Amino acid sequence: MRIQLVRQLLDRQIVDSVGRLVGKVDDVEFAVGDDGVAYVHALLSGPGVLGARVGGRAGRMLVLAAERFVTDRPMAPVRIPFALVERMDSAVRLRVPAEDLPASPVEEWLRRHVIARIPGAGRASG
């Protein structure tokens, strides 16, 4: 399948198989097949990736702000294998639920340090 990366992937919302927002495509990761042809291997999402793509002072500020919420630096992006993409229309739609994807480092930090401390958060239904 041929795609125009900037037009069909970058900055599109990523939606899981049940319609929940997962994130946004901030960049893509390529691999090279045995035939020597490059292909999209994974979608990358997260403030560290976006900051690198934006570049300059604004990009550095975005990365620094996000890294305040993680202990492992540099902050790893969320990598979603392109094989999990069901289709691309107004959003990138995945064939799996969000639970089957790697969690965002920032989201994990917020869940542990903020959401878990909210009274009754442990009883919330998903």
Span 19-43, pLDDT tens digits: 999 889 988 999 999 999 999 999 9
Q: How confident is the model at residue 13 (pLDDT cuts 50, 70, 90)?
A: very high
Q: Is the pLDDT assigned to residue 112 strictly greater than 60?
A: yes
Cα 126 to Cα 95, 99, 123: the distances in Å are 19, 11, 10
49's tokens = 């990736």
99-102: long-range pairs with CB below 8 Å, 24+: 101/16, 101/22, 102/78
CA distance 60 to 55: 7
Whether pLDDT at 49 is above 70 = yes
- Which carries the bigger pLDDT value, residue 112 or residue 73? 112
Q: What is the pLDDT of residue 95?
A: 97
